[in-house]
Amino acid sequence: MSERSFVMVKPDGVARGLSGEIISRIERRGFTILAMRKTVMERSAAEEHYGEHRERPFFGELVEFITSGPVVMLAVEGSEGAVKALRDMMGTTNPLDSAPGTIRGDYALEVGENVIHGSDSPESGVRELALHFPGL
């Protein structure tokens, strides 16, 4: 049984030249990258992607940030438990609480610009991959 996840190097990570390092970590862990592209996310896609946060006060800032520059989008596959393993590799959403050795623990300093996004469940992975990599 395998699981798929949507992973995105956010604009701050791309601007800092961290895409290659992050992709290398994912590959070295044993995940397969099924698809990858660098793009500036369209506002409508960002609003749909973060739709569950629409009523939260930070929604507008989140959409502004994620559309502010290029991102690297990845469709990633691994064995059962892959989504959790990727989330563990990323570290907690607040990088100040992330352990050293995690992506956020090593490279991020604030919640709003925390270098990487990853699906938070297999179901979110299916939804996010359908949005960003239709037909995959």
Active-site residue (options: 49, 53, 117, 132): 117
pLDDT band for position 3 (cuts 50, 70, 90): very high
| pLDDT attached to residue 112 | 86
Residue 110, number of CB atoms within 10 A of its CB: 11
Going by DSSP bridges, is the β-strand pair 2-9/32-39 parallel, antiparallel, or unpaired? unpaired
Give the relative orientation of helices 19-28 and 82-90 as an angle to the nearest 10 degrees: 140
Q: Which CATH number fits domain 2-132: 3.30.870.10, 3.30.1360.120, 3.30.70.270, 3.30.70.141?
A: 3.30.70.141
* β-bridge partners, 73: 8, 37
> What gap in Å lies between CA 103 and CA 92, rounded to an integer?
9
pLDDT in tens, 74-88: 999 999 999 999 999
pLDDT band for position 1 (cuts 50, 70, 90): confident
Please confirm, yes or no, whether 117 is among the known catalytic residues. Answer: yes
pLDDT in tens, 11-44: 999 999 999 999 999 999 999 999 999 999 999 9
Q: Are 69 and 40 contacting, i.e. CB atoms less than 8 angstroms apart?
A: yes
| pLDDT attached to residue 104 | 98
Question: To the nearest whole percent, how much of the chain has pLDDT over 70?
Answer: 100
Domain-wise residue ranges, the chain: 2-132
